[in-house]
Each structure stands twice: as structure tokens, then as C-alpha cells.
Amino acid sequence: MKDCCPICNSNKKKEIGLPRTNLISKKFVDREFKIVQCDYCQLYYVSPKIDFSSDQWSELYNSEYFSNQSSWLVKKRKKELAERFDKARSLIENKNQRLRYLDVGAGEGKGLLEANKRGWEATGIDIVDNRLQEAKLSGIKFIKSNLLESDLPENHFDFIYVDSVVEHVLNPFEYLSKIKKLLSKGGVIYIGVPNEDCLFNSVRKLAFKVAGKKNESEKIKPFDSPYHVIGFNNYSLKYFFEKVELTVLKKRNFGRKFDFLSYPPTSKSFWVSLFFLFPVEYPGQLIQRDIYFEAYLSKNN
């Protein structure tokens, strides 16, 4: 069924609202789309299914997707990345070998640089090449391709890093199943996705109503940056991992505090984050409705 949930295949859903478009996506949106939530697994997705071409997706994910990062955010992300790699290394069963690392949705290539610095065998894959120049080293392999169309070796990679990627994928079950096949025995997958049921989104929903935009969805933004076409809450993420038959080694709900510092003070995002996200950062943490999930996963078999 074309218009069913991309994880559990149920066609029972409830409407959440209408998606926002920007100047780029508006050229491609040729019908009415709605943000919906699956009644069975609680996944948020777009109905009807988006059918953009590869060229259209590439135009959306151009280099501007990574622009306007403050120096505070660059330093913060570098520290977070190192901590994630340390955690994954501690969970991988074979601790003596040179690790084979795969970065799915490599983006600017900062994960590739971290892996290369550690002496790991680094491979990245993405539908566009937005790597920083320093990530284009001879010792780093890069594949410009859709993961599902790639011929990467199965049972090969010890650490597969999938941060802020799955929420961009129209067929998440097939996607994560493919990643699982690429993972070596005793290896670890890192996955990071936004929490669509975070407290911040509840505040956004209220703000939309006050601004006279009650029909606009506060969940996923498929046609405006950051172009999320599916979205998870705690229940749907748990269901997702179980369906793909992955074991959760570690999982947490968290958020980057003082997130407004991620943006230049002259940007709209700075002021939105300061006045709407900052006041709910700590309450969201206390009630486990923070903005992000991360999980370390292994194969069941």
C-alpha cells in the first residue's frame, strides 16, 4: 500500500497538520501533503508518500544545509562526536583489531575525520558530496550513492554511524535492515534521531495557534530545512528497533543545552531557540521529553 506507514505498513492514521514549504521545495510540491501519525506504531510521516526525483533531493541537500554553524556549535559537536566514538569503542566486542568504520549520511565528513584520526579504516556514503576539503583525504573512502543502491560488503563494518539520517529516509525499515546486514559480528550501530514528542514541539504548537497557524504541523518538516520526512517518539523508536531485530545496548533522551548559541545572533533561528527552546530545555530533560534520542545497537543474530 503506497500510503501506509513505512515501518509497520498500517494504513490507519490521524492527521497532525499541514507541512511548511520553502522557496526550493515549493517548485517540487505539486499536490497537497499532510503530516500524519500511524495509529499502530505512532510514527509520524507524510501522506501521500513523497516522490521527488534524485536531482530534486540533491537540490534540497546542497551545501547550504550545513551553513551558519557558530564556533560554539562546531566545538560542541566535535566533543560530542569524540564521546560517541569512545562509547561505541567500549561496546564493540573485538577490541584489538583496527576498526572498520562506516559513516552513513557522511555530510561534511567530520565523523570520517575522527575515525581516520583514530587509525580506523574509514568509509563514508551519502547522496551528495558535501565533505569539507580536509575530509577528502586519500586514506578515506567515499561513495556517492543511495545506501540501498550501494554494493557495500555485508558483515564487514565494526562501527556504523547513522546520526541525523533516518528521519530523512522514506523507507526506514528497508534502510535500517540494510545497515544491519553491513554490520560485523560484535559490531555496533549508532543512531541519533529527533524526538518529535519533545516539550519544545508542544510549545511550537501553542505558538502556531497564537499566530493563527493552527493547521500547520509542529512535527517533521519534509519541505523546509531540515527536511525530515519521518519522525519518532519513544514508542515508535522502540518498535522500529524491535522490528528490525536489533538489540539496544544503550539509549537516552537528551538535548544540547544553550542551543541558541548554535546560531549567529543575526539569524531567525537564534531568536526562536532563545525564546522558545531555551526556557523548556531543563523541564524537557526532567520529564524525559528532550529533543533528541540516541541509541547504540547490535545484531540479535
pLDDT at 153: 97
Q: Check if the beta carbon of residue 125 is closer than 8 Å to that of residue 142.
A: yes
Query: Where are the domains positioned within the chain?
Result: 13-299
**Tens of each residue's pLDDT in the chain, 301 residues:** 568 999 999 999 999 999 998 888 888 888 899 999 999 999 999 999 998 888 888 787 764 555 566 777 778 889 999 999 999 999 998 776 889 999 999 989 999 999 999 999 999 999 888 898 999 977 899 999 999 999 999 999 999 999 999 999 999 999 999 999 999 999 999 999 999 999 989 988 888 888 888 899 999 999 988 899 999 999 999 999 999 999 999 999 998 677 767 777 877 777 777 777 778 877 888 888 899 999 999 998 6
Neighbours of 199 (CB within 10 A): 23
What's the length of the chain?
Answer: 301
Closest CA relative to residue 157, chosen from 94, 242, 90, 83: 94
pLDDT at 178: 98
**CA–CA dist 160, 35 (Å, integer):** 30
**CA–CA dist 87, 77 (Å, integer):** 15
Residue type, 295: A
Q: Check if the beta carbon of residue 224 is closer than 8 Å to that of residue 195.
A: no
Q: Which residues, 6 or more positions from 138, have their beta carbon under 8 angstroms from its beta carbon?
A: none
- The residue assigned the cell 547522496 is 127
Closest CA relative to residue 222, chosen from 17, 14, 66, 39: 17
pLDDT at 204: 86
**CA–CA dist 143, 81 (Å, integer):** 21
**DSSP string computed for 38-82:** ETTT--EEEESPP---HHHHHHHTSGGGG----HHHHHHHHHHHH
Q: Which residues, 6 or more positions from 124, have their beta carbon under 8 angstroms from its beta carbon?
A: 102, 103, 106, 109, 111, 112, 131, 135, 140, 141, 142, 143
pLDDT at 170: 94
pLDDT at 123: 97
pLDDT at 23: 87
pLDDT at 194: 96
The SS3 call for residue 126 is strand
Q: Which CATH class is domain 13-299?
A: alpha beta
| Long-range pairs for 152-155: beta carbons < 8 A, 24 or more residues apart | 152/102, 152/123, 152/125, 152/182, 153/182, 154/181, 154/182, 155/181, 155/182, 155/183, 155/184, 155/185
- 31 burial class (0-12, 13-18, 19+ CB within 10 angstroms)? exposed
**CA–CA dist 114, 120 (Å, integer):** 9
Q: Check if the beta carbon of residue 194 is closer than 8 Å to that of residue 233.
A: no
What's the gap between Cα 102 and its chain centre?
A: 16
